[in-house]
Amino acid sequence: MEAPENSHIGIRASPPQKVVGSIAQLKCIYTNARSMGNKQEKLEAAVQLENYDIVAITETRWDESHNWSAAMDGYKLFRRDRQGRRGGGVALYVKECFDCLKLDDSDERIECLWVRIRGKANKADILLGVCYRPPNQDEEADEIVYKHLGEVS
């Protein structure tokens, strides 16, 4: 992936691809925020400028104190904050025009968030996820992620 001009705020985007036929395409962006608290305004500006459909973020490091500042106009926010220790956390912003549902993410040992976007006009649903693997994660946690991927897909 090529980093856009705004890579100084830690945002990576896929290069534009040609759409062939009637295939719908979502415009997505991913960033590892390493604490979103001080980067929220820059992220919002980049998202609004580029008109992304989906924003995936890892290492948000959010907690209850970020409830007031995490909203982004025109987007639904789905988040999973790390429980019981500092750091981590994942979030997905999905444009409000999409009909979506957060899937169960009850396993606290892994940091994954899954959302199902309902397809329109007899189109298939889209399963969208964001996962964070801490660098010190053990093999058991990796196996849980693999199992979880199998279950949601």
Residue 19 pLDDT greater than 70, yes or no:
no
pLDDT of residue 106: 67
Structurally, the chain folds into a number of domains equal to 1
Q: What is the DSSP letter of 64?
A: G
CATH of the domain at 58: 3.60.10.10
| pTM metric for this prediction | 0.75
pLDDT of residue 56: 93
> What phi, psi does 9 have (nearest 5°)?
-100, 10
Beta strand segments in 7-120, E: 11-13, 28-32, 54-58, 75-80, 90-95, 100-102, 111-117
Burial class (CB in 10 A: 0-12, 13-18, 19+), 17: exposed
Could you tell me the residue range of the domain that residue 41 belongs to? 5-152
What is the pLDDT of the chain when averaged over all its residues?
77
